[in-house]
Amino acid sequence: MSRITQEQKIELENEQNALAFFRQALAAMPEPRRRQGIRYPLPAVVTIALMAMVCGCDDAEAMELWGEANAEWLAGLFKLPHGTPTQDVFLAVFGAIKPDGFSSVFQAWVDLLSVKVGMQGKHIAVDGKTSRRSLDKAKNRPAIHTVSAWLCDEGLVLGQRQTDAKSNEITAIPALLRTLDLTGTTVTIDAMGCQTDIVKTIADGGGQCLIAVKDNQPTLHAEIRETFAQAADHRVRSVDEPPRPEVAVFEEVDKNHGRVEKRRCELCRSLDWISTHDRWPQVSFVVRVIRERTVVAEQKTSTETAYYIGTDANLLVSAAATIIRRHWSVENELHWVLDMAFREDEARHRARNCAANFTTLRRFSLGLLKRDPDRKLGIANSRKRAGWDRAYLLRILGATQD
């Protein structure tokens, strides 16, 4: 009997340790509900929702069912005199919580991990994603657009900003970047982030950047194209002309999924042809990437050319090629996973702040799952395992305490 009691004691300690961060962080979050009539403590509701989300529950109805199935266990972890929360309770709580307040809890968890993994030499990819079903035409509410800072090396969302339109990324990105420790990092952004204020914000934060350039910066875009055109022009130049730009080249070929992709990355530090360089004083080089993709079965070939600006005076062309390619992990490992494993594009909770807070809850859950160093399954199956295996769930939740 004593052996069983000791095992139960150890199990209880493990459970309490796993939930320690969430108890402390959520206790400091302002209570958005009126004191009168509160039946479920805020930390309990939010933590149970997070646990259920990790275990594969994508909406409030599924969270209620998961809570009922684990009612006895949850009653030993939280004060639940009225039973486990219903879907109405989850929706009421997440509808009332201010999104910034809940995001601050997520940010506190991320900050703990950032200190542990270290940021020096890390790659941060910044990109936005729209939660399509959060659009509420009846109430004239636009779909939520979330700009995320993705730590490519660790598979972790470092921070996020929610806006009501993709065009608002221009103001959301610098606000997001100012909340992060950029010292020694390289930040990559698509063409929406090609703004002088954003480049300066990254430099002021101690980081380097590599940003795509398109026609939203027409003069810069045209002059980068002209720079590489001049580099390819081997004619003898007059004494009045700037010398031919020097270009470093890196080429690589990939063969997979029935396709052959050839990539040629060209890096040029000769900026004589950039007349607007005074507007971009931090920029030290420009890049052209030419991608040639061939579908083997059809023998069809397509070519794409992309241009970039960068600030790292010591970056090698091979490293630039790797960073540019790695940027798309924010699409493949974050946005695609949110849609496929968490069904984010199908999420329909729209009342009050529910859509915004469930967006944060999904990123929180994904971050917890990706922190497991021994994970051998994909995210979807890891969520199923967490639902079947309480020890695994507690290990996921306790990653911050390791």
Q: Both tokens of residue 375?
A: 């994970």
Confidence at 33, pLDDT banded by 50, 70, 90: confident
Residue 7, C-beta contacts closer than 8 angstroms, at least 6 positions apart: none
More confident residue, 13 or 235: 235
Alpha helices in 178-264 (DSSP H): 196-204, 218-231
Are the C-beta atoms of 192 and 129 separated by less than 8 Å?
Answer: no
In this predicted structure, the answer to whether residue 124 has a pLDDT above a threshold of 60 is yes
User: In the predicted model, what is the mean pLDDT of residues 43-68?
Assistant: 94
Q: What is the total residue count of the chain?
A: 402
What is the token pair recorded at 402?
């390791």
Largest CA distance in the chain: 96
For residues 91-97, give the mean pLDDT: 92
Q: Which residue has the higher pLDDT, 166 or 336?
A: 336
Question: Could you report the per-residue pLDDT of 222-264, keeping only the tens digit for each?
Answer: 999 999 999 998 887 777 777 889 999 999 998 887 889 899 9
Res 12: pLDDT: 54
Residues 6 or more apart from 271 whose CB is under 8 A from it?
Answer: 227, 277, 283, 284, 285, 286
Closest to 324 (Cα-Cα) out of 281, 362, 291:
291
Tens of pLDDT, residues 176-229:
999 898 999 999 999 999 999 999 999 999 999 999 999 999 999 999 999 999
Radius of gyration over every alpha carbon of the chain, rounded to an integer in angstroms = 25
pTM: 0.86
For 337, the token pair is 């996973």
For residue 284, give every residue at least 6 positions away whose Cβ sits within 8 Å of its Cβ, in sequence order, or none.
269, 271, 310, 311, 312, 313
pLDDT of 2 above 60: no
Buried-exposed string 119-145: b where 16+ CB fall within 10 A, e elsewhere? beebbbbbbbbbbebbeeeeeeeebbb
Distance of CA 371 to the CA centre of its chain: 14
Question: Mind listing the pLDDT tens digit for each residue in 329-353?
Answer: 999 999 999 888 988 877 777 678 8
Which amino acid, 75?
Answer: A
What is the predicted pLDDT for the residue at 8?
Answer: 46
**Percent of the chain beyond pLDDT 90?**
50
On the 0-12 / 13-18 / 19+ scale of CB atoms within 10 A, 183 is: exposed
- DSSP labels, 102-142: HHHHHHHHHHHHHHHH--TT-EEEEEEEEEGGG-BTTTTBP
User: How many angstroms separate the CA atoms of 185 and 120, rounded?
Assistant: 6
Question: What interhelical angle do 169-177 and 196-204 show, nearest 10?
Answer: 10
Residues 220, 213 contacting (CB under 8 angstroms): yes
What 3-state class would DSSP assign to 289?
Answer: strand
Confidence label for 129 from pLDDT (cuts 50, 70 and 90): confident
Distance CA 75, CA 241 (A): 79
Q: What share of the chain is helix, strand, coil (3-state, %, to 5)?
A: 50, 20, 35
CB atoms < 10 A from the CB of 229, how many?
12
State pLDDT tens for residues 107-118: 888 777 766 667
Looking at residues 270-299, what average pLDDT do you find?
A: 92
Contact (CB, 8 A) for 66 and 53: no
Q: What span, in angstroms and rounded, lies between the C-alpha atoms of 7 and 13?
A: 10
Contact criterion met (CB below 8 Å) for 333 and 363:
no
Q: How far apart are CA 234 and CA 237, in angstroms?
A: 9
Q: Can you give the pLDDT at residue 402?
A: 46
Average of per-residue pLDDT values in the chain: 86
The per-residue pLDDT for 1 is: 40
